[in-house]
């Protein structure tokens, strides 16, 4: 199992554990973490799984690919660490990852 | 009385859709939408020819994309499948020449992106929350005015009335003039001679009136303190403050048109779906919190826009078919939303699906509906307020089959007779 910590915009902290290979979006949606919707089911086509990877984890996650980049362009408050959660597969190297979730998605 | 044949998809072999040669299937025929006979044709295409070429139609030759995953392919490759109005725009009808205003729904990147980014924050969830109270109050007032125990037309008295009110609320538009908003929306989409506009000149004249009115509102608001309406937000936001008059009008019209028929027809479709699925109506009344997952299901079930269109910018292959540069490619959301490979029991209306937002009605990719959370909010408020007033299963009765719109684009209703029992 891989441990992930989600920090909500209001500071609420949630620790979840998911199976290796799960996406960060599925880890959030599957554990009812607020602020992550995942409307397209995980194919970089809706932008409603936007979150921010904490600084110390940013160079450990897989790089941003072209489709993800084009969708990230439209999310609110695109900033350092901005990613689509569905494009990050939770490997053992990401055990303990910390991500912040936004107020809402649309 | 409703008859069973209106709800179910007919069995394969008794359906006329299976009686004609495959290459004669033309799913753009507007009559199929008015008569609600489309389902068998799409079911056959999904099974036998998911990416289908139709050589002759009212709208010329075109490709139909009918399966969920192929539609997703088209949606996520905007460089190959263009929305640009100069190539033909986003409907099977080709571009309506009068509306050459800059509307980002019919632009490609990078132009599209800048416009979308300036409008999108305005309909973000935080902003919508500020409008919720007033929308709820006005929705409640409109429902309190409905006749109880008497037959009436749900489309006029609920769906059109509420969507017009909501547009007026969103723009903080002068209340007594609010029917102008619906009129401008209708005039944008009308075909000359259909009773709304007589000619392209007539249409341009109406657009001119709309421009003058909206410019006056902008000028008032840019000089006043910021308020939570869409025009004031655009006038004060640094990303939108410096739009040209054409860009402003294009964005305004797109917001009016985008949110008008679609939301209206979902308001009618929701009641129709519940009345055809009494078990779901009972489930909802037993647990009104299910409104939240019911709303996306209503939008899937209704699919208010049957299709969006693209034009190929290069030769390409889709679902094994060779599509040539310049070909018209139609993504039939109404079919993808009934694709059993993507959605379990797709013909059933189920108000508590696990992932109810996995449907195509809002499109996907860079053009995905910017108003999707706004539309959901409006519908959620409507159903919360309806259930407050009339909480019993079947209490709002559909009395006859509704009259449907003659269009391969707008999936909607012109009337639906109902009665609310005391
Ligand atoms: C149930 C209601 C609605 C449905 C089914 C719907 C459907 C759609 C669809 C299918 C598209 C995608 C176009 C494409 O892929 O080419 C779209 C785009 C759009 N919609 Fe909606 N819509 C709804 C409500 C609204 C509302 C309430 C607004 C007003 C804020 C709105 C504004 C827009 C805009 C501005 C676009 C263009 C987005 C872009 O091109 O980037 N829609 N809508
Ligand atoms: S779930 Fe749709 S982009 Fe990630």
Q: Hey, what domains does chain B have and what are their CATH numbers?
A: 12-420 (1.10.630.10)
Q: Which whole number is the average pLDDT over A73-101?
A: 93
At B52, phi and psi to the nearest 5?
A: -115, 135
**pLDDT computed for residue A76 by the predictor:** 78
Across the range A85-103, mean pLDDT stands at: 96
pLDDT at B229: 86
Q: Check: CB of residue B259 under 8 Å from CB of residue B374.
A: yes
For the cut 70, the answer to whether the pLDDT of residue A9 exceeds it is: yes
**Reduced to 3 states, what is the DSSP secondary structure of residue A57?**
helix
- What's the pLDDT score for residue B201? 87
Which fold is adopted by the domain A2-100?
A: Ubiquitin-like (UB roll) (3.10.20)
Q: Are B63 and B31 in contact (CB under 8 A)?
A: no
How many A×B Cβ pairs under 8 Å? Answer: 52
The reply to whether ipTM tops 0.90 is: yes
Q: Tell me what the pLDDT averaged over chain A comes to.
A: 94
Do A45 and B125 lie within an 8 Å CB cutoff?
no
A52 and A27 Cβ atoms separated by less than 8 Å: no
Q: Consecutive sets of 10 residues in chain B, 422 residues long: mean pLDDT of each? A: 45 79 96 96 98 96 98 97 93 71 90 86 83 94 97 97 93 95 88 81 90 95 90 86 87 90 97 98 98 98 98 98 98 98 98 96 97 96 98 98 94 96 92
Among the bound ligands, name the one nearest to the CA of residue B361.
1
Collapsing DSSP states into helix, strand and coil, what is residue B48? helix
Contact B76 A44 (CB under 8 A): yes
Minimum-distance ligand 1 atom for the alpha carbon of B104: 40
Predicted pLDDT of residue B13: 59
Give the residue, out of A86, A88, A102, A106, with the most ligand 2 atoms within 8 A of its beta carbon, to mutate for a pocket test: A86
Instruction: Report the DSSP beta bridge partners of residue B308.
Output: B331
Residue A70 CA: which ligand is closest? 2
């Amino acid at each position: 199992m891989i441990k992930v910590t989600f920090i909500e915009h209001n500071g609420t902290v949630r620790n979840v554990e998911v199976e290796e290979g799960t996406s960060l979006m599925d880890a959030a949606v599957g554990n009812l973490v607020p602020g992550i919707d995942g409307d397209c089911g995980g194919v970089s086509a809706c932008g409603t799984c936007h979150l921010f990877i904490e600084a110390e984890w940013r160079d450990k996650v897989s790089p941003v690919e072209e489709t993800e980049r084009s969708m990230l362009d439209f999310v609110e408050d695109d900033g350092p660490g901005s990613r689509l959660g569905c494009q990050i597969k939770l490997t053992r190297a990401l055990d303990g990852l910390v991500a912040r979730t936004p107020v809402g998605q649309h | 009385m409703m008859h069973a044949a209106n709800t179910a998809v007919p069995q394969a072999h008794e359906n006329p859709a299976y009686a004609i040669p495959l290459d004669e299937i033309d799913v753009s025929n507007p009559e199929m939408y008015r008569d609600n006979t489309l389902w068998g044709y799409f079911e056959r295409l999904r099974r036998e020819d998911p990416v289908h070429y139709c050589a002759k139609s009212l709208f010329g030759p075109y490709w139909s994309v009918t399966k969920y995953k192929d539609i997703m392919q088209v949606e996520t490759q905007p460089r190959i499948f263009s929305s640009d109005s100069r190539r033909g725009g986003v409907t099977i009808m080709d571009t309506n020449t009068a509306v050459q205003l800059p509307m980002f729904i019919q632009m490609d990147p990078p132009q599209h992106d800048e416009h979308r980014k300036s409008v999108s924050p305005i309909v973000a969830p935080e902003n919508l929350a500020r409008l919720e109270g007033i929308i709820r109050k006005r929705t409640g007032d409109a429902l309190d005015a409905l006749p109880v125990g008497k037959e009436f037309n749900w489309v006029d008295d609920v769906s059109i009335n509420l969507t017009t009110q909501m547009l007026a609320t969103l723009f903080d538009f002068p209340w007594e003039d609010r029917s102008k908003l619906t009129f401008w929306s209708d005039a944008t989409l009308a075909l000359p001679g259909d009773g709304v506009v007589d000619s392209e000149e007539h249409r341009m004249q109406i657009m001119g009136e709309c421009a003058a009115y909206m410019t006056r509102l902008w000028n008032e608001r840019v000089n006043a303190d910021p308020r939570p309406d869409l025009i004031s937000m655009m006038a004060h936001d640094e990303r939108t403050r410096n739009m040209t008059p054409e860009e402003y009008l294009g964005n305004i019209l797109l917001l009016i048109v985008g949110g008008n028929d679609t939301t209206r027809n979902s308001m009618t479709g929701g009641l129709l779906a519940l009345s055809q699925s009494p078990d779901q109506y009972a489930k909802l009344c037993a647990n009104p919190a299910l409104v939240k997952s019911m709303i996306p299901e209503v939008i899937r079930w209704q699919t208010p826009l049957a299709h969006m269109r693209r034009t190929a910018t290069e030769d390409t292959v889709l679902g094994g078919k060779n599509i040539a540069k310049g070909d018209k490619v139609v993504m039939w959301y109404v079919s993808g939303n009934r694709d059993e490979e993507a959605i379990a029991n797709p013909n059933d209306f189920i108000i508590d699906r696990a992932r109810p937002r996995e449907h195509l009605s809002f499109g996907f990719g860079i053009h995905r509906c910017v108003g999707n959370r706004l539309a959901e909010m409006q519908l959620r408020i409507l159903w919360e307020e309806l259930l407050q007033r009339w909480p019993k299963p079947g209490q709002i009765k559909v009395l006859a089959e509704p009259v449907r719109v003659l269009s391969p684009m707008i999936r909607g209703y012109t009337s639906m007779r109902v009665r609310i029992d005391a």
